[in-house]
Amino acid sequence: MSTISIIFTALFYISLFIFIVGMGRKIYQFSVTPAPLKIPTAPTPLTQTGVVFRMIREVTLFESLFRSNKWIWLFGFLFHFGLLLVLVRHLRYFIPGDLPEIFLLMQPFKYAAFAMVIGLGGLLVRRIFVPRIRYISAPSDYLMLLMLIIIGVSGVIMTFTNNHTDVIMVKAFASGLVTFDWANLPTETHFLVHLFLVFVLLAIFPISKLLHVPGVFFSPTRNQVDDARKKRHISPWALKQEKEHAVKLDQTLGKDE
């Protein structure tokens, strides 16, 4: 194997490792942190089923964002939906051997890359030109978009221009990563850039705003059922305090009744 292939193979495992461990830790942290009070925001479902549907609408349609700002919604939706289709289509490289039939149907998904890049472009333009959004942006916010745009554009170049990479070789490399049967990868610059930035993205996932992905599911204002009067909801730390009468205000305000 060439040096560059060894480096990229190593980078893949390193970034994947960081991603899995980092996300695992973050999700664990989110899940063990108690939500001591009921704080769902209207329009609030009164049942668990209602909450599930609300969450599905938020994740698939970006419902709140739609009500909030049509432009951000449009660009955001183009980007994410495009990204989803592109990711699904990328599975072909990682599945060893012959592909199941349905992958033929996914052929048109390659156009999703345009949706993704247009969406990202729109978001970047807004970030630069809308003063309110510029005000709240840190360098990392621009970089994140730039990085995704470069990933998207380099992908488009490989798919739609004459700068194709050797797809057979890519498949051997990628499925080799899965089966630990490592192989060389093509070395065109735009492919290496594409791949490298994807690894970077994986690695920064748990330490950046990409945490919105697990975050949306853990958001108490969105995932709580509005049943505070019907069920007593109490967090472990509050229960402990209640049992032990351990509220520090006893000296100044007297004991609990």
Q: Which of residues 137-196 bind ligand HEM (CB under 6 A)?
A: 141, 144-145, 148
Per-residue x/- mask for other proteins, residues 164 to 203, rule CB under 8 A?
----------------------------------------
- Angle in degrees, 0-180, between the axes of helices 139-160 and 112-129, rounded to the nearest 10: 150
Q: Which of residues 225-244 bind other proteins (CB under 8 A)?
A: 226, 228-235, 237-238, 241-243
What is the spatial distance between Cα 128 and Cα 213, in angstroms, rounded to a whole number? 24
**From ligand HEM, other proteins, none, which one binds at residue 137 (CB under 5 to 8 Å depending on kind)?**
other proteins
Q: Is 129 in the site for other proteins (CB under 8 A)?
A: no
Which of ligand HEM, other proteins, none does residue 90 bind (CB under 5 to 8 Å by kind)? none
Do residues 223 and 39 lie in contact, with contact meaning Cβ atoms separated by under 8 Å?
Answer: no
Q: Find the DSSP H helices in the chain.
A: 3-32, 48-61, 63-68, 70-94, 102-105, 112-129, 131-135, 139-160, 167-179, 189-204, 212-218, 220-223, 236-244, 250-253
> Residue 132 or residue 229: which is nearer to ligand HEM going by CB?
132
Q: Which region, judged by CB under 6 A, interacts with ligand HEM, from 98-106, 186-194, 210-218, 237-245?
A: 210-218
Does the protein bind other proteins through residue 30 (CB under 8 A)?
A: yes
CA separation (Å) from 129 to 1, 123, 140, 147?
47, 10, 17, 19
- Closer to other proteins by Cβ: residue 7 or 234: 234
- Within 10 A of 185 (CB to CB), how many other CB atoms are there? 26
- Which residues are at the interface with ligand HEM (CB under 6 A)? 59, 62, 65, 72, 76, 79-80, 123, 141, 144-145, 148, 201, 210, 212-213, 216
